[in-house]
Amino acid sequence: MGRRRRRRGPGSGRGRGASRRGGSGRRILITSVSPSGDVNSASPTIRATVEDRDGNLLSRHDIDVYLDGEDKRFTYRRATGDLKCPTGKLSSGTHTVEIEAYVETDDGGSRTGRNKWTFNVKK
């Protein structure tokens, strides 16, 4: 039984309410995010660790990455939770990254993890 990727768009927030119902809590963590702050490279690589604290293995189909609101392609290593996403050449200025991960629970609900941050490209 394969999972289907749920395209919701950045900041949609769908699934957040479901993650709180039934007391399951928000157990998907998105940590070790970069880049952040000022960046001297016009082509930085987005990096993060994405993991489900309940032990469910996530796949890249459970994760969405957005840069300035646009869906991005990325690589994800299930064993380590390491996510890498090339940005391509970016203009000077502030850029917003958003990563969302979704997992369906055994009781028919779902949990969502989300992290949103900005960085500034300086040339």
pLDDT digits (tens, 9 = 90+) for 53-82: 877 779 999 999 999 999 999 999 999 999
Rounded Cα gap, residues 95 and 78, in angstroms: 27
Question: Nearest-CA neighbor of 78 among 55, 57, 98, 93?
Answer: 57
Rounded Cα gap, residues 116 and 66, in angstroms: 9
Q: Where are the domains of the chain?
A: 16-121
pLDDT, tens digit (0-9, with 9 covering 90-100), for 15-54: 333 333 333 455 899 999 999 999 999 999 999 999 998 7
pLDDT, tens digit (0-9, with 9 covering 90-100), for 88-108: 999 999 999 999 999 887 788
Question: CATH classification of 16-121 is 2.60.40.1220, yes or no?
Answer: yes
